[in-house]
Amino acid sequence: MIGNSPCGWSLFRCKVCAVRINVSKYLLFSSQGYGLALVVDILCGVLSGAASGPNVRRWATFDREANLGQCFIALDPSCFAPGFQGRLTDLVDGLRAMTPVNDSEPVLVPGDPERLHMEKVDAQGGVRYHENQLNLCVSISI
């Protein structure tokens, strides 16, 4: 049990509401990301009181306020099934071991491009800036 919620349930609280979402029902949302997009829209739009669905202002139009919402959720993996770190490592290792579409480019997971860039910057001895960028910084600092 987590508070009054049975295991496998997530509880979101605000001043006037408590919304429970059964995370084991994810199979209902299996149409190639449509369900995940809908959950994000519900959490960031409907739950926060912002625009949602077709009421979100179109990109690069300025005829009305954007009215975009945000939702921040912190999860403690230890409140769910045991062995999270090991299962996550197995998943990530399995993804990286998949056959890439292009043999010259490995399969990457989120964070890999950033880690590779950090290694490159470290090997170069720091961040390298284009001369024009340095000149601009000097000109606006005077």
User: Could you read off the pLDDT of 12-33 as tens digits, one per residue?
Assistant: 443 333 334 444 344 444 455 6
Q: Which two tokens stand for residue 36?
A: 């995940």
pTM of the model: 0.51
Domains of the chain by residue range? 1-57+65-82
For residue 35, what are the CA distances in angstroms to 28, 42, 56? 8, 10, 18
pLDDT in tens, 97-137: 999 988 999 999 999 999 999 999 999 999 998 999 999 99
Residue 39 has a pLDDT of: 87
What is the pLDDT, as a whole number, of residue 9? 44
Q: Is pLDDT above 60 for 69?
A: yes
Reading the block at residue 87, the tokens are 């299962």
